Amino acid sequence: MMVAVPGYADLHVHTTASDGTKTPAQVVELALAAGLAALGIADHDTIEGVGAAQARADGTGLEIVPAVEINSEWRERDVHILGYWIDTNHDELNAALSHLRSSRDRRVGRMIRRLREFNFPLDEARVREIAGTGAIGRPHIARAMVERGYVRSVREAFDRYLAPGMPGYVPRERIEPSETVDLIKRAGGVAVLAHPGALRSDALLERLLELDFDGLEVYHPSHDSPTVARYLSLCTERGLLVTGGSDFHGGTEGEEEAMLGTVTVDVVRVAALRGAACRRKEGLIREEEAHEGSG
Ligand code: AMP
Ligand code: ZN
Ligand code: FE
Ligand code: FE
């Protein structure tokens, strides 16, 4: 009997285009080595890594799922929203992402100044060098702090200095979760609430699910199996798509993190996601046609 070859997808991976330490080509190579069928390039506030990943995956049979993880904020709580199969040439999306990246830039400058007042003189140029051409953020500050011996690990830098309420913290310029969901949809994408476990509040999750999300990131290294089970039934109840991934950031030595390909979803889930994105784009075309039709 013929059995369909199973395939798995890691739909949440970061690259040097944001705060990952592996290039898009390198994450593709890791995905190939892991035998994945599909890989979601989901950098923070940028889609700059998608093209290079696609170029490296060309002809290998590995499918690259274009994605973005937009860091929105609600009442000083980080709310990360994934957009899958967004149109990477969408002008409004690109303008919004570019605005978010310049606001990251300003925020990092302010955080470095606060840390300096707190007796951690960091060289701003060095932090920028660590970030390279990628969307700059707190992890780059954290790495510079480790380098200077101010802390032992990125985690410690966050826990003691960079998390909300800590001395180095500066809130981000806000993009509302609702605005983010709408933006992703207008760009033809599928809006998924990332790692809901990180919200650490079912009340907040409930509030957020009042927004028109298409899916929930059920599988994530921070979710234990009872949590996964709970989110799975939530998805069934609410008709939400199920996604998942490792949230790989490069596997830097000494940092605990899940390796690429160790948290996955079945390709059937990917097909459902792709279908939803196709319907969304079709809807947008129809809207446009109706608009033209009405003069
Ligand atoms: P930013 O985008 O500048 O606000 O930085 C947030 C990013 O830092 C997140 O998306 C994670 O990649 C990373 N991060 C957040 N909290 C921690 C933590 N406790 N330890 C290590 N990395 C973290
Ligand atoms: Zn990150
Ligand atoms: Fe995230
Ligand atoms: Fe992430």
- How far apart CA 277 and CA 198 sit, in angstroms, is 26
- 220: tokens are 């994530």
* CA-angle at 27, arms to 88 and 262, nearest 5°: 110
- 12 touches 261 (CB < 8 A): no
Closest residue to atom 13 of ligand 1, CA basis: 139
Contacts of 295 (CB under 8 A, 6+ apart): none
3-state secondary structure of 293: helix
- 15 touches 41 (CB < 8 A): yes
Name the burial class of residue 11, with classes exposed (0-12), middle (13-18) and buried (19+) by CB atoms within 10 angstroms of its CB: buried
Which atom of ligand 1 has the smallest separation from the CA of 107?
3
- 294: tokens are 């009405």
Distances (CA, A) of 162 to 41, 115, 252: 25, 9, 19
pTM of the model: 0.95
Distances (CA, A) of 202 to 27, 151, 228: 33, 32, 14
Residues with Cβ–ion distance below 5 A, ligand 2: 19
Write out residues with Cβ below 6 Å of ligand 1. 19, 44, 71, 137-139, 154-155, 158, 249
- 211 touches 89 (CB < 8 A): no
Q: What is the DSSP letter of 137?
A: -
Please state whether beta strands 8-13 and 77-84 pair in parallel, antiparallel, or not at all (unpaired).
unpaired
Q: How big is the chain by its Cα radius of gyration, in Å?
A: 19
For residue 153, report the distance from its CA to the centre of ligand 3, in Å. 19
Which residue has 């300003």 as its token pair? 106
For residue 83, report the distance from its CA to the centre of ligand 3, in Å. 12
Helix ranges, the chain (H): 24-33, 48-57, 91-117, 124-131, 138-147, 154-157, 177-186, 202-209, 225-238, 267-293
**Which pLDDT belongs to residue 75?**
82
Instruction: Kindly give the confidence (pLDDT) of every residue in the chain, 295 residues in length, as a single tens digit, with 9 standing for 90 and above.
Output: 555 566 999 999 999 999 999 999 999 999 999 999 999 999 999 999 999 999 999 999 999 999 999 999 888 789 999 999 999 999 999 999 999 999 999 999 999 999 999 999 999 999 999 999 999 999 999 999 999 999 999 999 999 999 989 999 998 888 999 999 999 999 999 999 999 999 999 999 999 999 999 999 999 999 999 999 999 999 999 999 999 999 999 987 667 789 999 999 999 999 999 999 999 999 999 999 998 877 5
3-state secondary structure of 42: strand
- 238: tokens are 């609410």
Q: What is the DSSP letter of 134?
A: S
**Which pLDDT belongs to residue 3?**
56
**Which pLDDT belongs to residue 2?**
55
**Which pLDDT belongs to residue 16?**
98
- 144: tokens are 């510079």
Which residue has 């510079």 as its token pair? 144
Closest residue to atom 17 of ligand 1, CA basis: 158
